[in-house]
Amino acid sequence: MLGIIDFCCRCIILVIQIVKGFILRDIRQSALNIELVILKGLGYGFSRSLIRFFAPKNLAMRYLLLLCVFGCLVPVRLQAVIITGVGGDTGNTTAPSSPNDFPFDNVGNMNGKAGTGLYMGSGWVLTANHVGAGDVVFGGVTYSEDTGTTPVRINDTTDILLFKILNPPELFSLDISAARPSGGDEVFMMGFGRGREADIVYWDASWNELPSSVGATYSGYEWVPGGFVGRWGNNEITGNTNTTVLGTEQMQIDFDSSGETWEAMGSTGDSGGAVFYKNGSDWELAGMMSSISTISGQPSNTSVFGNATFAADLSVYRDDILTVIPEPVSFAQWLGLCCGVFILWRSFYQRGK
């Protein structure tokens, strides 16, 4: 019985999303909304693979494919950030699998500059103000800045910048966290920054490099020269208090030698990068990487255990951001709208009889 009720509820959601598209005369967005409903039900990683395999550029075909997948499966219960560990110099450059399947495709690199951009939806991209607006690359495709729309610096003083792009990608909108993750909560970080060399490096108290860990005071990694690569890793939020950096309330994320499996640390080029938090079963954008802290005397182009990444706490600026990028209308709101339309239609129909 519960399975039938669940199936009916999902069908109702699909109908509402279709009506939404027709009301707005936006068939493209209607198809994307249908995808979003199904992806949330089946898991982003699995459904995304199906979409990419079957001619994703044709929205009509994609819509039909997703309806087929939905109908067949619903009744069944079913460089970037520096990371530690073996393979940390080359790994984590592709989308992770469930349950860590955060919105990987929404993270892109700023074309021609060191920085990362996050596709928020409705043609808007979020990045660090010190990176600036410009063309951005998502999925290997370069999207031009809409120079006819003035970029928006949140509160005029923060390191958070929004700008529009032309002919935006077919990606889902990102949900911004309404509340800050607590200290100790796991987050996933992704950006297009510098990578690291394969081997760990040891230094003494005067920052002289050592051949081994014997007598070492510090340890960490040297960055590789050259280009920037998209990479993700995980870490934990440090404490429950924000720090003001670059005029922005920011969360601190420490880089520890005994931390997470893919302990992550920001590097040059990661500014504007994502800090994702899984709230229950939903992925939220909790932060945007903005800056890093180092130790006095630390060699340049290195990440040392004891450093920290600072990420703008987007829950603080959520309302300001959504003033620029309207939040997607909720299911309850659309259900109410559809009920209202039905009542009006029925009223006019009865008058005409």
Tell me the pLDDT tens digit for each residue of 290-308. 999 999 999 999 999 999 9
CA dist 160 and 117 (Å) reads 11
Residue 47 located in a structural domain = yes
Q: Please give the structure tokens belonging to residue 62.
A: 């994609």
Domain boundary among 77, 105, 131: 77
Phi-psi region of 226 (alpha: psi -120 to 50; beta: other; left: phi over 0): left
CA dist 103 and 9 (Å) reads 25
Percentage above 90 pLDDT, the chain: 59
**Does the pLDDT value for residue 18 go beyond 60?**
no
3-state secondary structure of 286: strand
Q: Please give the structure tokens belonging to residue 239.
A: 């404490």
Mean pLDDT of 77-95: 70
**In terms of residue numbers, what domain contains 29?**
2-77
The secondary structure of 59-73 as a DSSP string is HHHHHHHHHHHHHHH
Residue 343, pLDDT score: 67
CA max distance for the chain? 93
Number of domains in the chain: 2
Please identify which residue in the block is written with the tokens 């003033």.
Answer: 323
- Preceding omega of 99 cis (within 30 degrees of 0): yes
Domain boundary among 48, 77, 106: 77
Residue 276 located in a structural domain = yes
Residue 353 located in a structural domain = no
CATH of the domain at 307: 2.40.10
Domain boundary among 22, 44, 77: 77
Residue 28 located in a structural domain = yes
Tell me the pLDDT tens digit for each residue of 244-283. 999 999 999 999 988 788 899 999 999 999 999 999 999 9
Tell me the pLDDT tens digit for each residue of 193-222. 988 999 999 999 999 999 999 999 999 999
Residue 237 located in a structural domain = yes
Residue 220 located in a structural domain = yes
Residue 44 located in a structural domain = yes
Residue 55 located in a structural domain = yes
The length of the chain in residues reads 353
Which helix (DSSP H) or strand (DSSP E) does residue 290 occupy? strand 282-293
